[in-house]
Structure 1
Amino acid sequence: MQLLEKLVTTPGIPGREEKIRELIKDELNKIADEVKVDGMGNVIGIKKGKSSSKNEAKKVMVAAHMDEIGFLVKHIDKKGFLRLEPLGGFDARALVSQRVIVHGKEELLGNLAPSTKPPHMLSAEEAKKKLEVKDFFVDLGLDGDKVKELVNIGDPVTLKQDFVELGNSYSAKAMDDRIGVYVMLEAAKELDYHEADIYLVATVQEEVGLRGGKTSAFGIDPDVGIALDVTIANDIPGSKEDEMVASLGEGAAIKIMDAASISNYKVIDTLKEIAEDKELSYQMELMAKGGTDAGAMQQSRAGIPTAGISIPTRYVHTVNEMVDKDDVNSAVKLLSEFLKTCHEKDFSL
């Protein structure tokens, strides 16, 4: 799993995806006929259909966002403590006692801490205060002058965590959505024959409003779109059974809806048929909160038939996002089989 480890550990917050973009470009150059970067910064790898002319080939777009949640430095005080502007959704409870990397003139490791007294000094009333993301600062262990020499306002800040194997799972920061990028790349490698022209797109700025998915879909104008992203696996203590979106180990999730899209039912049916025919484990996903690039593609131009293949993930938007190995393999196989046969289908309504 060296590729997945490289993907999750390479930094790339919204708008500053340059390092992860170069890694993905290198990988796409191994499998695509053409690789380009559009004006927004999306990486687009094109695999031409084997037997179709340029004018006849159906275009299928696969989108997985490369950006991860993170921060920008917005203030440096005289002692060298950094205040942050979040990019993406954070739960402040998951930030306590974490470490970050500040990508300044050099990479600087720092402690992320809330601006509050130590627990043993808090009054009962102070202890009840709810933490907010705006309460956190970064301590680089350097004096103010040195920090200002190495760090500028607007420098990216990413969370720090190792990639580890836990039982039948992998855990790391930025599985959202580097695991989607991984599935896209691995599925493309499995293609021995396909008639559709396949556009493999690593999108930017998804975490701040599906921005790269919108612009890339407009430029490609595909006949059908598949969004690859994580979905909530809340199969853990504290969740009710009827509130569960997905579970680890039960296969790739076929998206019915999320907060940004309702999937084309013909694409859903095709994915289900493939999963059942190939005896792939799958589950159905309805996620009422949280959108994906499916919404950006679906609403492009006059509308694109779109659905999603999601990888169930525990502890989303934390440094310990966890995926199941078998679910990942199921997603790779489901996508590759769809790409082999989608030219035969009519997804119009």
Structure 2
Amino acid sequence: MQLLQELCEAPGISGREQKIIDIMARELSQTADSVTVDQMGNVIGFKKGRKDPAKKVMIAGHLDEIGFVVSYVDKNGYIRFAQRGGHTPKVLLSQRVKIFGKQEVIGVVEGAPAMLQEAEDRKKTPELKDLYIDTGMNKEELEKIVEIGDIIVLDREFVEQGQVCIAKAFDNRVGCYVVLETMKRLQQTDVDVYAVGTAQEEVGIRGAMSAARDVNPDFGIAIDVTAAFDTPDVKEHQQVTQLGKGVAIKINDQASISNHGIVEFLKALAKKHKILYQLEILPFGGTDAAGMQRFGKGPVCTLSVPTRYVHSPNEMLHKDDLEATIALLVKFIEECEQCQLAF
């Protein structure tokens, strides 16, 4: 889990993924025949297959996490911020953040003091525009080390506890980790493999689009987290996935529909190799599969790692689900030439 911890604790919001790019490039250089970084910031590791010509398989995990950038420092040193990616304001209150300026600065996200609010106002969910970051520094001190556009990420350490891990940014450093671990386990295959860390997924799946346009894969497999709402007071039919029940094979989300033939092939592989899996229909959101579907040849699917509390400072996953995701992706790449597309 050391590599996953390194990925999660490194800062890398949409459009500012350099530290994650460096980790991905370093790791892929040990397993791929070549590694490039394109003009979008996608990291692409290429592993040549035995056949020539060979079918192309693109596996994609996005580099970026949700975060913020500094947008204003007021006369008293309080920082206003602009979001990168989707945030739920109520999970941000009183959370620590790191600001990466000329030096690293710790701050606390706050809003109107709850103790001074009327009872009805305390029940309301705050809006991002009403929140600020307090570093305890005055404007003069801050402006020496922080400027407009500096990135801000949640301040959370990686924790292993029994069979679960808790951290910020599992969305989607988990996808990066699965891509890297899959490449380590792959022997020579018949297909050409493009292992891609994609940029700017959280703001519109932008990197996957440009990478898929260049690669033009025959098969596109996105790796991402998905919602696990297996918590108190959530009805079973609304849970989407459950922790500890295996890799989730996505049928569809709001942005893409997985090719039926790929879904059936993945199910058959999982049964054949005794890999625990569950099926997923996500009624919102999307993954890099949408970009590959639109700008590649079309056939895509997403393998998801069930995760509780997505887009919060404390996302949670089960180690067995993570292992199942890697195992199924390896088997798909090894045997994908047998996959028959279906509609």
TM-score band by shorter chain is over 0.9
- Paired with 1:176 and 1:188, the residues of 2 have a C-alpha distance of 20
Aligned to 2:38: 38
TM (norm. structure 2) is 0.98
**Contact 1:224/1:347 (CA < 8 Å) preserved in 2?**
no
Matched, 1:67 2:64: yes
Per the alignment, residue 313 of structure 1 pairs with: 307
Do structure 1's residue 278 and structure 2's residue 280 form an aligned pair? no
Q: How far 1:111 moved relative to its partner?
A: 1.0
**1:264 aligns with one of 240, 250, 259:** 259
Could you give the per-residue CA deviations for residues 172-220 of structure 1, whole angstroms, max 9, x where no partner exists? 0000010111111111111123110000000011001100011110010
- Structure 2 portions without partners, runs of 5+: none
How many residues were matched structurally? 343
Partner of 1:156: 151
- CA–CA distance in structure 2, aligned partners of residues 220 and 347 of structure 1: 19
Following TM superposition, the consecutive aligned residue runs of length 4 or more in structure 1 with deviations greater than 6 angstroms are none
Equivalent position of 1:210 in the other structure: 205
2:24 corresponds to which letter in structure 1? I
Deviation at 1:120, TM superposition (A): 2.6
Kindly indicate whether residue 185 of structure 2 is the aligned counterpart of residue 190 of structure 1. Answer: yes
Segments of 5+ residues of structure 1 without an aligned counterpart are none
Q: Deviations over 1:255-287 (max 9, x none)?
A: 100110000011111111110000110000000
Tell me if 1:139 matches 2:134: yes
**Amino acid paired to 2:320:** D
Amino acid at match of 2:324: S
Instruction: Measure how far apart 1:348 and its partner are.
Output: 6.8
- 1:60 aligns to what SS in structure 2? strand
Q: Secondary structure at the match of 2:305?
A: strand
Residue 291 of structure 2 corresponds to: 296
* CA shift digits 1:232-259 (9 cap, x unpaired): 0000013111111000000000010011
Alignment of 1:173-184 (within 5 A): 173-184=168-179
RMSD between aligned alpha carbons? 1.1
Cα deviation digits, residues 293-335 of structure 1 (max 9, x gap): 111111115x420001000000000011011000001001000
Counterpart code for 1:297: M
Equivalent position of 1:7 in the other structure? 7
Which residue of 2 is the match for residue 347 of structure 1? 341
Rounded to whole Å, the distance in 1 between the matches of 2:187 and 2:127 is 50
Secondary structure of the residue that 1:150 maps to in structure 2?
A: coil
CA contact (8 A) 1:305 1:348 kept: no
Matching residue's letter, 2:224: D
